[in-house]
Amino acid sequence: MRLIKKQFQLNQFTMQYVAAYKNEDAEVLESLLLSDAYENGVPVSSAIVKYNSNFSNMEIINYYIKINKAEIKKDIGFVDSDFIITFGNLNKRHNNFIR
């Protein structure tokens, strides 16, 4: 039962993270993660700086995320996902970023 509760918490975390990104709220993103966390091999502290820059220079038009795998190993949560962001830049041209 403990693993099910932790899996639920990991799913809740993932939904909060996606909502914060969609709302362009780097402060909430940072509050959700431990200071020593990594995202795609990059320290979260570096990723947050990049997010702040992106949020101030781009408008997110659409955000799609596909969770491939979410699991807990030794009390550490791992989420593997793919996402597509459609955004507009300051010149109002639309671009796609696939990660």
Question: Which run of H or E residues covers position 65?
Answer: strand 59-73
The third-level CATH classification (topology) of the domain covering 2-98 is Nuclear Transport Factor 2; Chain: A, (3.10.450)
What does the chain come to in residues? Answer: 99
**Which tens digits make up the pLDDT trace of 76-99?**
778 888 878 777 765 555 455 544
Cα distances from 86 to residues 14, 32, 45, 68, in angstroms, run: 20, 24, 24, 20
**The two three-digit tokens of residue 41, written as one number:** 């091999």
* pLDDT at residue number 69: 83
**Is the sign of the CA dihedral 34, 40, 41, 44 positive or negative?**
negative
At 3-47, the pLDDT tens digits run 567 777 888 888 898 888 888 888 898 888 888 888 878 888 888
Calpha distance 97→85 (Å, rounded): 5
pLDDT given at position 98: 47
Q: Note the pTM of the prediction, 2 decimals.
A: 0.68
- Output the average pLDDT for the chain: 78
Domain segments of the chain as ranges: 2-98
